Structure 1
């Protein structure tokens, strides 16, 4: 199972991870509604959820006493912590794109759909990745790292009496946004974040196009039924990802650099072809003499 997952499409892995994230979060939110306090038992409740709620409350007091602002600051702190992982993930994805011609050559080398052919492609693909220090599972890691933070945030909101009374603008943070503004913003920033990550790629395949549309729609529908605090987390997190991408892995610069590299390569090929033709004419003229 793990071996097969390693070669699962990068975007499909992200779709499955995203769906799992939302489903598991909803499950954990529903599995317990007892208030979280310093007397709570169990490692998760006492040391994770309770301390997360304390941190959000403390941040809220520091930044004006608004719990919504506290959640936004909390989200930015979490994203700062995992930012190096995202940057590493982006570099791994760029390396995979550079190796894609070699992977495509393997598919031509083993065109069959039988188990032996697919196994051969997987084994040689792994050799190529290993030779270039590429981890094909890099796309899942940042999302998986966020899972416990999102679970803890959901539990802290639903089970902390103080946070349940929190508001942001017109919204009660423990209830869905009645006007669907936050779900819409969460979907929009999810789309922008995904589009930026795809823009730096040479081409966009079918699964990428599907993800570009499906994920924002899924986020919007899910956010309509979840606490506004979760939508605040999604909006702030995706906004941070957009800013991080533009600052550290700017897709416009990457795309421009790739186009310049391709133009330079084509120019060099034309010059070499021109030089070969010139040499051919010179030799032909010499023979006539």
Structure 2
């Protein structure tokens, strides 16, 4: 459990550091210097502008399309991460039994616990670190896209649906928060993760999204809405029970 909390804290720090790379108030252009700007943010900004040009300078539609494309790009990583999380949850009952069996805190017993735990992972072909690497890889991409949306000046000069992309909106942040909550709720339900700390984060993240959305340009809130809606659909299909699992669960329920 401590490892998960440390991981979440590390990721939040990573988000803060990367989000602060470069001045967020400085528009991104082809003249922007720095590795982060030249190789990540500007190419994404130029791509958004290119897609907007195809659709009669509709930057709102461009954000929607580009968000979906970026999510599709990192989809293999998300699938790997989700399946790894689900696999880890499936072996948790056996890990709990091992911890109860080797409950003594002496060094020899703890060493034996680690050995038995590793054997359990190998037996079920579970890699406890497999769920971390996809998150680490995808975070720079998502943060670069976030900065591209925020720092592209042309976006701030356009409107989409009922809101101005350059000004905060009061409806989109609420929608984004609801979608964030729904996605995390679905993920916890499908993977069987009933951890209290993770449940607490399920409520904290949506509130953070809503607060940020009330102060940032609505272009970012639109990005969050589309991204979280994509995540809900993705989570639903990736974590859907296989036919064999569904049949076995139904059989078990009938026996009862």
TM class by smaller structure: 0.7 to 0.9
Count of matched residue pairs: 256
The question of whether the paired residues in 1 share the 8 Å contact of 2:84 and 2:130 is answered with yes
CA distance in 1, matches of 2:244, 2:209: 28
Question: Are 1:148 and 2:140 counterparts?
Answer: yes
Describe how 1:186-265 pairs up with structure 2 within 5 A. Answer: 186-202=176-192, 204-250=194-240, 256-257=246-247, 259-260=249-250, 262-263=252-253
**Residue of structure 1 in register with 2:82 after alignment:** 90
Secondary structure of 1:37's aligned partner = coil
User: What does residue 95 of structure 2 align with?
Assistant: 103
Q: Answer whether contact 2:85 2:191 (CA < 8 A) is retained.
A: no
8 Å contact kept, 1:68–1:167: yes
Rg (Cα) greater in structure: 1
Tell me the TM-score normalized by structure 1. 0.74
Change (3 A) 1:20 1:252: farther
Alignment of 1:7-156 (within 5 A): 8-9=3-4, 12=5, 15-16=8-9, 19-20=12-13, 22-24=15-17, 26-28=19-21, 31-112=23-104, 120-156=112-148
Unaligned runs of 5+ in 1: 268-289
Q: CA RMSD in A?
A: 3.1
Give ranges in structure 2 of 5+ residues lacking alignment. none
Distance 1:98 1:158, change over 3 A: closer
Deviation (angstroms), 1:76: 0.4
Match of 1:157? 149
Distance 2:186 2:55 in 1: 31
For residue 168 of structure 2, what is the aligned residue in structure 1?
Answer: 176
Looking at structure 2, the residues matched to 196 and 101 of structure 1 have their Cα atoms a distance apart, in angstroms, of 21
CA drift of 1:194 comes to 0.9
Which is worse superposed, 229-238 or 189-198?
Answer: 229-238
Task: Quote the offset at 1:51 in angstroms.
Answer: 1.3
Change (3 A) 1:68 1:115: farther
- Structure 1 residue 262 displacement after superposition: 4.1
- How far residue 187 of structure 1 moved from its aligned partner, in angstroms, is 0.9
Deviations 1:166-207, CA, capped at 9 Å, x for gaps = 332343333432x2x111111111111111111124462322
Checking the alignment, whether the CA contact within 8 Å between 2:191 and 2:239 is kept in structure 1 is no
Shift of 1:98: 2.2
Change in Cα spacing, 1:79 to 1:159, as seen in structure 2 (3 Å) is closer
TM-fit CA distance, 1:263 = 4.2
- The DSSP-based 3-state class of the residue aligned with 2:70 is helix
- Deviation digits for residues 16-45 of structure 1, max 9, x if unmatched? 36633653455236x353333223333322
C-alpha contact 1:79 1:237 (8 A) present in aligned 2: yes
User: Contact 2:173–2:211 (CA<8 Å) still a contact in 1?
Assistant: yes
Query: Closer, same or farther in 2 for the Cα pair 1:212/1:109, shift >3 Å?
Result: same
CA displacement, residues 64-105 of structure 1 (integer Å, 9 cap, x when unaligned): 421111111111001111112222222222222221122011
